[in-house]
Chains A and B, each alone.
Chain A
Amino acid sequence: MTTTTPTSPQAAAAARAVTTRRPAPRHRGYARRTYPLWFYVPAAIVFGVLFVVPTFASFYFSLTRWTIFDSEFIGLGNFQQFFSEPALVKGLTNTLVFGVVTSAGKVVLGMALALLLTAPVVARGYLRSVVFFPVLVSTIGVGLTFQVLMNPTEGLINRVLGAVGVDGPAWLVDPSIALLSVAAVDVWKGLGLAVVIYIAGIVSIPAEYFEAARVDGAGWWQQFRSIILPLSMPATSTVVLLSLIGGLRSFDLIWAMTRGGPGFTSDTIASVIYKQYQAGFYGLSTAGNVVLFLVVAALAFPLSRYFNRREVNL
């Protein structure tokens, strides 16, 4: 190899000079296009074959009664059946509860932890990575681990509670709290990401604001209320949006921990759809996915527009 010598500063400068001196192409309409059109073809093919075609195929198949072997067109029958499904009402409310509870939890706890981890505390870097660690672990692994930890009689959580004299609830098998138990684990797992977003938001606030506030005699709470909270609004909107969308399509954690049970008490739209797919009702579950797509879109688009407008107003 003869090219291993480092590039000299002169050569680099010459290269820069060449690129800057070259006149920019000034064809009408193509003025700012860096690459010829056909450069986009490979990406377009991949996108078309893997995303556009299946999406439109799924719109079609949602209108059919579809075994894997053949399909029969039945119009809107699947949607009618999907909406008359009793598990769906439960699933829909559960999905909303799960989405709202987890995003609220991530906003509040994420903000609190981010405040702690931007303050001058001991071992800050270590603590930051510890908080982020659960994000890196596989969701199924987390679900199965907590399923063991939350076992009402043998689980570590209730044993510890028992040791201090508290009779712990039957986390995952009590119909009234099963969904909330899963939501709590989801917050634990997703918190790291929210914290990182908030840390980024908080450290990007110019230090002058805090100095000015301190000169004016603002206390800790006033600084938080009047500087950090409004100026980290972009971070809040990102966290809310991400966790709401994640919460609405949440499936893996719920499936690993309760399989929608006991009975149907922790079913969400996604787990209802999965069970229909499992049962071989391919058309019906495709219709469910179309519905889920529309629900998520209907919630996410206005929300993101709302947040974007607020950011501009700030």
Chain B
Amino acid sequence: MHTTPPARRLRAVALLAVGGLALTACSAGSLGSSGDDSGDGVTLSMLIDNSEQSMVPMQGVIDAFHAEHPDITVEMETRPQGSEGDNVLKTRLATGDMTDLFQYNSGSLLQALDPAGNLVPLTDEPWIDSVDDAFLQAVQSGDDYYGAPQNQASAGGVLYNTQVYADLGLEVPLTWDEFMANNEAIKAAGIAPVIQSYQDTWTSQLFVLADFHNVLTQNPDWAEEYTANEAKYVDEPAFAGFRHLQEVADAGYLNSDFASIKMEAALDQVATGAGAHYPMLTFAIGPMVAANPEAAEDVGFFAMPGEDAGGNGLTVWPTGGIYIPKSTEGEELEAARTFLEFLVSPEGCDAQTAAMPPSGPYQVEGCTVPDDLPAAVEDMTAYFEEGNTSPALEFLSPVKGPALEQIMVEVGSGIRPAAEAAALYDEDVKKQAQQLGLEGW
């Protein structure tokens, strides 16, 4: 009587233990056999941000690559976007625990990773000559290049609903005054003139970041002066970005739910004509068209308007890069090089195009984009063809404060006036400059 329950329990424990053993034996066996099946198979891991516009095209490239190189398997690992993802990436890099390949921004953000110390130089790769110079400069450190272009260049400007413009008889504004005049007409028609989406705080920064071409047309040396702690955001021409957002907010031109929506909802609004303008980066065009097919026709794109029509042009973000950390060695390193060679080739570009319609020109020679692109992408490409572009500030200066997005949310929400906000941001960047050990801070 007394002995049965413990005995039964014992039997159960024994069963579990044996079962567990059997399971481990099983998995070990299958691991071994899968290695045998594919001969000298190499598995590469790649860390990539979890945005759709990064993951979907890269999966397309990986699938096409697998078809051509069955002996190499590439596995994607994702990380959060923004500064949270930066932390993941920097920590893994610092601890030598990085994946075999990883994706990250080009430009000044890359410099913070100390490329010469942490990355494998790609200067002697066969494909390097086919890559656009603008991109190579953004992945250069010392005499070496460290990255392969991830996908297409993007730009910052204003997405606008062409139906609203046609109905109201408006024209694409070349100056800020024309833009405000358009807004007035749009508001009179009962449509939200300018869309903001402060649940994705980073989207608030476009008024400042996308205005940078206008800053450069007024002062071509602004970026150098800024890095040297001489030019400031409280002063014109850079102050215009802060001032513009306040003007738009004060005039009541923002959508009523600006504080509570995310980027997806904002893209829906501009696609359906519930709102007229949405300051945005062009990488958002792909997801927008995927969610609202009519947006391919109905949404156009123009550069952030500045002071005078003659200087009108586009602020451009070169594409992110794919990098190989120094911790990748041996046959993994060889396989990683093979993968990059495929990525930076017309086949690689075509695989991306097939996975997701491109949102801008590829920065690789020989890569073409299809003709039936969304209207907004064609509008953007026109600026590139005219050569009417400037790189964004983060590609010219390493100084960027972390709090710009919150500060801009405050300006748009009427919590803090533009002048105070610009002064606060100037303080914010000081920390970054000191952390980087720049001269003159």
Contacts and interface: CB of A to CB of B under 8 A. Distances in A.
Interface of A: 1, 4-6, 65, 67-69, 72, 81, 86-87, 151-153, 170, 172-175, 259-265, 275-281, 284
A170 B416 contact: no
Contact of B86 (A81, A152, A280): A280
Given A174-B259, A263-B415, 17 more contacts: A4-B2, A4-B3, A4-B7, A65-B434, A81-B431, A152-B259, A152-B260, A153-B260, A261-B201, A262-B409, A263-B410, A264-B406, A264-B410, A279-B83, A279-B403, A280-B83, A280-B402
Interface stretch (B71-79, B87-95, B243-251, B271-279): B87-95
A281 B403 CA distance: 12
A278 B406 contact: no
B416 to A, nearest CB: 7
The B interface, classified by DSSP as helix, strand, loop or mixed, is helix
Contacts of B68: none
A72 to B, nearest CB: 8
B6 A279 contact: no
Contact of A284 (B7, B10, B84, B431): B431
Contacts of B260: 151-153, 170, 172-173
29 contacts: A1-B6, A1-B7, A4-B6, A4-B7, A6-B2, A65-B434, A65-B437, A68-B90, A68-B91, A69-B94, A69-B114, A173-B260, A175-B415, A259-B201, A260-B406, A261-B201, A261-B409, A262-B198, A263-B407, A263-B410, A263-B415, A275-B402, A275-B403, A278-B83, A279-B431, A280-B86, A280-B112, A280-B402, A281-B402
B2 A262 contact: no
A275 B401 CA distance: 11
**Category for how many chain B residues contact A:** 35 or more
Contact of A263 (B2, B84, B117, B406): B406
Contact of A86 (B198, B413, B427): B427
Interface in B1-40: 2-3, 6-7, 10
B170 interface: no
A175 B90 contact: no
A82 B113 CA distance: 25
A279 B2 contact: no
B94 A277 contact: no
Contacts of A281: 402, 431-432, 435
B257 interface: yes
B122 interface: no
Q: Which 4 residue pairs are nearest across A and B when measured between Cβ atoms? A: A279-B402, A263-B410, A173-B259, A278-B83
A304 B437 CA distance: 44
Contacts of A263: 406-407, 409-410, 413, 415-416
Interface in B232-271: 257, 259-260
Nearest to A5: B2
A33 to B, nearest CB: 37
Contacts of A175: 413, 415
Nearest to B427: A86
A276 B434 CA distance: 14
B424 interface: yes
B84 A278 contact: yes
Nearest to A67: B435
